[in-house]
Amino acid sequence: MRFALPASLLCLLACTATPLMAASGIRYLASQKTWVIDTDNTTYAVGVNERGELQELYWGAKLTRPEDLGTPHSSPGRASFDSSETNTNGEYPGWGGVFYAEPCLKLTRADGDRDLVLHYLDYKIDGTNLQLRAKDIHDNIVVTLLYRAYPQEDILRKFARIENGTRQVVTLESAQSGVWYLPRNENYRLTYASGAWATEDQLVQEPVHQGKVVLESRRGNTSHQLYPWFALDENGQATEETGRVWFGEIAWSGNWKLVVEETPAQQVRVVGGFNDFDFSYPLKPGESLETPAYYGGFTSEGFGGASSQLHQFEISEILPDHAHPKVRPVLYNSWEATEFNVNEAGQSVLAAKAAKIGIERFVMDDGWFGARNTDHAGLGDWVVNLKKFPHGLAGLIRTVNADGMDFGLWFEPEMVNPDSDLYRKHPDWVMNFPGRPRSEERNQLVLNMARDDVKEYVFHAVDTVLSENNIKFVKWDMNRHFSEPGWPDVPPAGQKEIWVKYVRNVYEIMDRLRQKHPGLEIESCSGGGGRVDLEVLRRTDEVWPSDNTEAFDRLRIQEGFTYFYTPKVMMAWVTDVPNMNGRSTPLKYRFLVAMQGALAVGSNLNKWSDQDFALATKMIAYYKTIRETVQLGRLYRLYSPRTGEFTANQYVSRDGKQAVAFAFLHSQQYLRPAPTVRLRGLGQDTIYRVTTIDDKLMHAQKTYSGSYLMNHGIDLRLTGDYDSTVVEFDAVN
């Protein structure tokens, strides 16, 4: 039996139960040699123990009196086999002394000395930033740990700067961003996402046991196979709405690594940073290296709470428009309609049809340049094919603009087909080991973007096309991972820097293009979702989660994606059926699936019927009335596509005045009703006008209270296969 407490009583209980919270910010408790980082709802504390090591003391729900943490003290060792150093929650342990857990830093000095023991040096607090410095006990190798608190989003960022202040070369062999420790508990459950091309973002859950689980990319970019995000909850008990969840994410578009480790002392810790596989980074005297940012957060509101924190954080702190978040335009993309067969006449016809259904941005995909008629030739030659576009791109762009849309263009800047003018001129520009095979994937090789001459060529090639044309948007693709990552032009000791320098140069090109072309927007695509992470999202406005555009498969991909990334950046195309996996779903179902993110259309409009156009026009017009709620609001995943025939997701606008719920039925057992959908996040006493686009709502009244909608819920008349609906709730009082 369920009891509903009156709102006034709930408020009273909440008010008496909530102790006075300390303000957010960073404090130094001098008598305890402890720094306390408070966000609105969390506390993180790190101190200096009796040996002089920095030690994490606490990470979790906000402490009203962090002084209770006491004076930092190392943990005892266990016999002669697990040292105190191994059992202590070192904040940034180097590999040295008696230490057996995953270290944050491992190095070799030119003279062969590999021992590194870091002791606290000094600190600096600047608003929501904290710097802690530690130095090797013997020589001048200094690590600065840089922290930033994001109080409202309850997120912390940490990373490290490693400086070689010695007189000899110091080669870094593992340079991690940091480590997060969880309260001691043997029964954590790890949640992460795995996948592959066309099946990205599949959620995985498993218990944590003593030992290590390694999540990583060794492929040169973020990868479709694993994602640089983890979540841990206690005893496997967290749900979508309840339970304590700790989560973290490495922000890096190259080789990254997360090591989830339970030590013999039952301590769970997650080290993350650059992947140390094939990693070697020599620092000459005076040189330094900064690691990627490592974000972490805590919530007591389950996985939904964790996702919501990340979504709001991405919107208000990470994305290029974070200062003034705006909604994404509805986009058309030519790829599935015309593939490489693009030309001015054909694209103009598609553009005219796209404009009529309400598309705001027309994007021409692959095939517009050089000898690019298939994927065998032309990559790297970023010169407009005048046979296909006799007026250059200007002719098509004029038409698109006259139709009231802005224009976007596809590039794959980091790649080259051996059958291209670029490769014929500069065969040495691809990554390679001299004399060894250069393996092709999709008939292409990877340019060595770590080389500054290659970086400049790529920047100027893209910049020239953007400067000569009215292009508002670049779809930045990358259709293979690294192989044979040789860099023969630099001395052998520095060749492995290619993994880091490549990524930094790609970031630099994106930054320079955006600077030179104010207002330019970029989509990160890597044959689907191969390059999505919090660092590329600083310079890209949206991402392509998957080349799999089949609507039912997409429900699971989108669900996984939203565990860590906001629906605002989740591009979702409506495409034709039967889709790549042979499945056919109704056009309305395809629209509603795509409307849960940033809606786009990728269909061949030349094949659409009048009814298709009419439905699309209606759906796009409707989407524009709810997209702010979908893209910038709070997502509640009500029914997961992983657990049954029925999927439902709800979005509530930031001001709480509008909510929309999407529902999808996969395949109905005859006469078996769809489950009641209980709404979330509404005002108990608020009255909502309830509307829908079809006749699937089984309620006659026009208005309902939030209390009814959240406790009783709505019933939907969904039947057969691939039925779907969307219901809207607008506050009227």
Tokens of 557: 């991909």
Letter for the amino acid at 701?
Q
Q: Which of 276, 547, 553, 723 is catalytic?
A: 547
Give CA–CA dist 439/343, Å, rounded.
31
Least separation in angstroms between residue 445's CB and ligand DGJ is 15
Q: In angstroms, rounded to a whole number, what is the distance separating the alpha carbons of residues 380 and 372? A: 10
Q: Is 549 in the site for ligand DGJ (CB under 6 A)?
A: no
Tell me the per-residue interface mask from 70 to 99 with ligand DGJ, x by CB under 6 A, - otherwise.
Answer: ------------------------------
> Which one-letter DSSP state was computed for residue 697?
B
- For ligand DGJ, the closer CB: 409 or 679: 409
Closest CA to 681 of 239, 315, 304, 313: 304
Contact (CB, 8 A) for 230 and 260: yes
Task: Quote the distance between the C-alpha of residue 542 and its chain's center.
Answer: 10
Per CB under 6 A, the segment of 29-37, 524-532, 603-611, 628-636 that binds ligand DGJ is: 524-532
Q: Segment contacting ligand DGJ (CB under 6 A): 12-20, 379-387, 521-529, 680-688? A: 521-529
Q: Which of 228, 282, 296, 527 binds ligand DGJ (CB under 6 A)?
A: 527
User: Considering beta carbons, is residue 148 or 475 the nearer one to ligand DGJ?
Assistant: 475
Instruction: Indicate the length of the chain as a whole number.
Output: 733
Smallest distance from ligand DGJ to CB 335, Å: 4
Candidate ranges 251-259, 322-330, 520-528, 654-662; the one touching ligand DGJ (CB under 6 A): 520-528
| Interior angle at CA 572, CA 585 and CA 633, nearest 5 | 115
Asked whether the beta carbons of 321 and 522 are under 8 A apart, the reply is no
Q: How far apart are CA 415 and CA 379, in angstroms?
A: 6
Lookup: tokens for 303: 């996985």
* Catalytic-role residue among 477, 541, 553, 723: 477
Nearer to ligand DGJ (CB atom), residue 200 or residue 628: 200
At 141, the amino acid letter reads I
Contact status: 547 vs ligand DGJ (CB under 6 A): yes
Residues 279-318 that bind ligand DGJ (CB under 6 A): none
Beta strand residue intervals within 644-716, DSSP E:
646-652, 658-667, 687-692, 703-705
Tell the smallest beta-carbon distance from residue 255 to ligand DGJ (Å): 21
Cis ω on the peptide bond leading into residue 578 (within 30° of 0)?
yes
Q: State how far Cα 420 lies from the chain centre.
A: 33
CB of 224 to ligand DGJ, least distance (A): 11
Are 135 and 271 in contact, with CB atoms under 8 Å apart?
no
Distance of closest approach, residue 376 Cβ to ligand DGJ, in angstroms: 12
Helix axis angle, 610-632 relative to 587-594, nearest 10°? 20
Q: Is 406 a catalytic residue?
A: no
Q: Which is nearer to ligand DGJ, 59 or 544 (CB)?
A: 544
Taking alpha carbons only, the member of 510, 509, 490, 487 closest to residue 499 is 487
* Residues numbered 130-189 forming contacts with ligand DGJ, rule: CB under 6 A: none
CB 21 within 8 A of CB 64: yes
- Contact at 8 Å (CB) between 468 and 384? no
User: Which one of 99-107, 138-146, 523-531, 724-732 is the stretch in contact with ligand DGJ (CB under 6 A)?
Assistant: 523-531
Rounded to a whole number of angstroms, the minimum distance from the CB of residue 417 to ligand DGJ is 12
Q: Which CB, 95 or 335, lies closer to ligand DGJ?
A: 335
Residue among 226, 293, 400, 525 that touches ligand DGJ (CB under 6 A)? 525
Nearer to ligand DGJ, 410 or 662 (CB): 410
Task: Give the separation between CA 52 and CA 407, rounded to whole angstroms.
Answer: 58
**Least gap, CB of 525 to ligand DGJ (angstroms):** 5
Task: Give the tokens for residue 57.
Answer: 């003391």
Q: Binding segment for ligand DGJ among 17-25, 495-503, 525-533, 670-678 (CB under 6 A)?
A: 525-533
In this structure, the number of other CB atoms found within 10 A of the CB of residue 4 comes to 10
Strand partners, 415: 446
Residue 353: both structure tokens together:
């049809």
User: b/e for 446-480, b at 16 or more Cβ within 10 A?
Assistant: bbbbbbeebbebbbebbbebbeebebbbbbbbbbb
Please identify the residue of the shown chain whose CB is closest to the bound ligand DGJ.
366
Q: How far is the CB of 604 from ligand DGJ (least distance, A)?
A: 14
Check residue 622 for interaction with ligand DGJ (CB under 6 A): no
Total site size for ligand DGJ, rule CB under 6 A: 11
> Of 96, 195, 528, 597, which lies in the binding site for ligand DGJ, with binding defined by CB under 6 A?
528
375 is annotated as an active-site residue: no
- Sort strands 268-274 and 256-262 into parallel, antiparallel or unpaired: antiparallel
Nearer to ligand DGJ, 143 or 522 (CB): 522
Single-letter residue type at 95: W
Q: Which is nearer to ligand DGJ, 498 or 574 (CB)?
A: 574
170/543 with CB nearer ligand DGJ: 543
CA separation for the pair 684, 711 (Å, rounded): 9
State in angstroms the smallest separation of the CB of 546 from ligand DGJ.
Answer: 8
Q: Any contact of residue 410 with ligand DGJ (CB under 6 A)? A: yes
Q: Which one, 233 or 547, has the nearer CB to ligand DGJ?
A: 547
Q: Binding of ligand DGJ at residue 335 (CB under 6 A)? A: yes
479 touches ligand DGJ by CB under 6 A: yes
DSSP, collapsed to helix, strand or coil, labels residue 586 as coil
Does position 545 interact with ligand DGJ (CB under 6 A)? The reply is no
Shortest Cβ 544–ligand DGJ spacing (Å): 6
For residue 558, how many C-alpha atoms fall within 13 Å in the half-sphere facing its CB?
A: 29
Fill in the per-residue mask, 357 to 386: x = in contact with ligand DGJ (CB under 6 A), - = not in contact. Answer: --------xx--------------------
Please identify, using beta-carbon distances, which residue of 130 and 415 lies nearer to ligand DGJ: 415
216-245 positions binding ligand DGJ, by CB under 6 A: none
Closest CA to 330 of 603, 612, 595: 595
Give residues in contact with ligand DGJ (CB under 6 A).
Answer: 335, 365-366, 410, 477, 479, 525, 527-528, 544, 547
Report, as residue numbers or ranges, the catalytic residues: 477, 547
